[in-house]
Amino acid sequence: MEIELVVQSAQDGAVQNVRCVLERMLVIGRDPESPVRLQGTGISREHLSLQEDGGQLFLNDLSSNGTWLNGAKVEKGQPREIREGDVVEIPGYHIDVRVTAAPPPAAVPAPPTLTEVSSAREVPEASQKPSFLRPFTSAISALSLLEKLLIIASMASFWLGIYYYMG
């Protein structure tokens, strides 16, 4: 099932359109892996999930600050069906969920011939190597701008203290 999310910020009115294929479950929140990454004090890392079951779309609240569907609070652990035209609200955002046509099935490539298999060479790609910085970069990207500025200020204060003490 393919869905379109029209996310509008209640603070500044900015609109973000996101199209994605819903294969099993889609989680929306502050998490850097979320297809729609939202910011705000009331947004959980994993705020809500959208699930497809039997051609129907369901919303599940995963947060501690709440999710509303058409003005009614969604109880945690109680999935609610979403229909065309429904409005999802979370702290600071309004989300219109639109179901579009299912994507066409992917073409299955033909099996390789014997000459293709024998002539193929495996070339390792540098992008496939795990990076030891990945945990740090994902942790830093999950921080808000204010949190990053506070960390920089505390580090500067620490180094100024060292400089003052040594100097």
pLDDT (tens digit, 9 = 90+) per residue, 107-139?
A: 566 666 555 544 444 444 444 455 666 776 767
Q: What is the pLDDT of residues 7-59, one digit of tens each?
A: 888 888 888 888 888 878 888 888 888 888 888 888 998 999 999 888 888 99
Are 91 and 142 members of one domain? no
Are 153 and 89 members of one domain? no
Q: Is the pLDDT of residue 67 over 90?
A: yes
> What tokens does 13 get?
């009115």
Are 8 and 80 members of one domain? yes
Is residue 157 very low, low, confident or very high in pLDDT (cuts 50, 70, 90)?
Answer: very high
Are 15 and 96 members of one domain? yes
Q: Is the pLDDT of residue 103 over 60?
A: no
| Higher per-residue pLDDT: 121 or 163 | 163
Are 139 and 94 members of one domain? no
Structural domains counted in the chain:
2
Domain range for 141 is 132-167
In a domain, 140, yes or no: yes
Are 89 and 136 members of one domain? no
Block residue for tokens 């959980």:
44
Residue 74 near residue 62, CB atoms below 8 Å: no
Q: Is the pTM of this model over 0.85?
A: no
Are 39 and 90 members of one domain? yes
| CATH number of the domain bearing residue 67 | 2.60.200.20
Sign for the CA dihedral angle at 136, 142, 61, 65 comes to positive
